[in-house]
Amino acid sequence: MMKKVLFVASVDFHFTGFHLPVLQWFKHQGWEVHVAASGTITIPYVDHKYNIPIQRSPFHHKNLAAYQELKKILENNHYDIIHCHTPMGGVIARLAARTTRKKGTKVLYTAHGFHFCKGAPLANWLIYYPIERLLSHQTDCLVTINSEDYQLAQLHKFSAKTITRLDGVGVDTDIFKPVPREEKAFMRFKSGYKQDDFLMFYAAEFNKNKNQRLLLDILAKVTTKNRNAQLLLAGDGPLLQQCRLYAKQLGIAEHVHFLGHRKDVHEILPMCDLVLASSLREGLPVNIMEGMACELPVVATKNRGHQELVQEQHTGCLIEDNNIQQAALMIENLINAPEKRRQFGYHARQLILSTYSITKIMQQTSALYKPYMGKEEHTKWMAQ
């Protein structure tokens, strides 16, 4: 009988954004692939998709319905592996899988950045820490994606049978790559930017954690001396309109380009000069890795995920304590130092190629799944 794997997350675009190579890999191994998440988009490599109403807030009443639906799904299917992602996807899946786990199903959970971490609000520790610690008892393998989370899980003696670490979800370096100078110039012309514009890019949902307001404050400082500085913000979200209004209030609206949700980030990044990141909390951010793969330097706020990628004065610079003046000075220095930008960008891509490329990550991922896939798959690996 064909083996089955179920992936669970809060929203379905989590899988299209981060996990398609894993879904494809399971199909190539001959497994039946199911996904359970909120949303109605079509996901490649999936045999069956369940739309269940998982909500991000742990207090939302719809999560009870999501739990009940998922429990029925598990009762009607025998899954060999359940791999859950996102905080509430992880909570609901592990609660629902308590019975089926006793029958042999292996439950894996990837923490894409614990909500409790150094500098996190006390409320995050009071809410999310007890939940994660308690549910670690219902976890065969806890996967972390940065050193701080891995050490935290070890230090606090989380009870998962195995605690491990992957270097994120990987970047396709054949898609995200630098382009020749002539092509870069044409891309700018085609997109309506001037050749001497200094283009800074950030792709993220407009929410409190992603903190785009900080970038607007920084840009207001930068443009007092550098009128060619342009900030490109890709993404949608609840704070988008607020940021539009704030840019107007700061008098920098003509320097800010709100691009909306984009599926062509790989075509935007190569024409840019710098990647920015302003989030308060990150696990291991793909948006920065994609920019680095395109040989762009990075200026980012200092947090655990950014610190994994941004090597100070080697691949970029880190902003301490949301310091607007410090960040503006960093950017101004990079605007006036094209050779330094080139060196930072070169080192950035080399780091991605050596550690974070999709090829490297899939090698780690296949090794992660190996102990949970059964005897036949062990033989298949040895034959490859």
Average pLDDT of the chain to the nearest whole number: 94
User: Percent of the chain at pLDDT above 90?
Assistant: 90
Pairing of strands 4-11, 81-85: parallel
Topology agreement, domain 4-170+358-383 and domain 181-356: yes
**Cα-to-chain-centroid distance, residue 128:** 19
Domain 181-356 fold: Rossmann fold (3.40.50)
pLDDT at 383: 33
CA distance 94 to 138: 6
* SS3 call for 224: coil
Among the listed residues 18, 28, 10, the one whose alpha carbon sits nearest the alpha carbon of residue 373: 28
**Residue 107: CB atoms within 10 Å:** 28
| Count of CA atoms in the C-beta half-sphere (13 A) of 156 | 18
pTM for this prediction: 0.91
| 75-86: burial string, b at 16+ Cβ within 10 Å, e else | eeeebbbbbbbb
Using an 8 Å Cβ cutoff, are 294 and 173 in contact? no
* Cβ contacts of 340-345, under 8 Å, gap ≥ 24: 340/297, 341/273, 341/274, 341/297, 344/297, 344/298, 344/314, 344/315, 344/316, 345/178, 345/292, 345/294, 345/295, 345/296, 345/297
**One pLDDT digit (tens) per residue for the chain, 384 residues:** 799 999 999 999 999 999 999 999 999 999 999 999 999 999 999 999 999 999 988 889 999 999 999 999 999 999 999 999 999 999 999 999 999 999 999 999 999 999 887 777 888 889 889 999 999 999 999 999 999 999 999 988 899 999 999 999 999 999 999 999 999 999 999 999 999 999 999 999 999 999 999 999 999 999 999 999 999 999 999 999 999 999 999 999 999 999 999 999 999 999 999 999 999 999 999 999 999 999 999 999 999 999 999 999 999 999 999 999 999 999 999 999 999 999 999 999 999 999 999 999 999 999 999 999 985 444 343 333
CA distance 201 to 297: 11
* SS3 call for 49: strand
Using CB atoms within 10 A of its CB, is residue 1 exposed (0-12), middle (13-18) or buried (19+)?
A: exposed
Taking only the tens place, the pLDDT of each residue in 320-349 is 999 999 999 999 999 999 999 999 999 999
Domain 4-170+358-383 indexed as CATH 3.40.190.10:
no
Using an 8 Å Cβ cutoff, are 289 and 171 in contact? yes
CA distance 94 to 318: 36
Q: Which region holds residue 116: left if phi is over 0, alpha if psi is between -120 and 50, else beta?
A: beta
CA distance 257 to 191: 11
Q: What is the DSSP string of 99-114?
A: HHHHTT-EEEEEESS-
The total number of residues written for the chain in this structure: 384
pLDDT at 380: 42
Q: Where are the beta strands (DSSP E) in 149-255?
A: 162-165, 198-203, 229-234
Domain assignments of the chain as residue spans, ordered by start: 4-170+358-383, 181-356
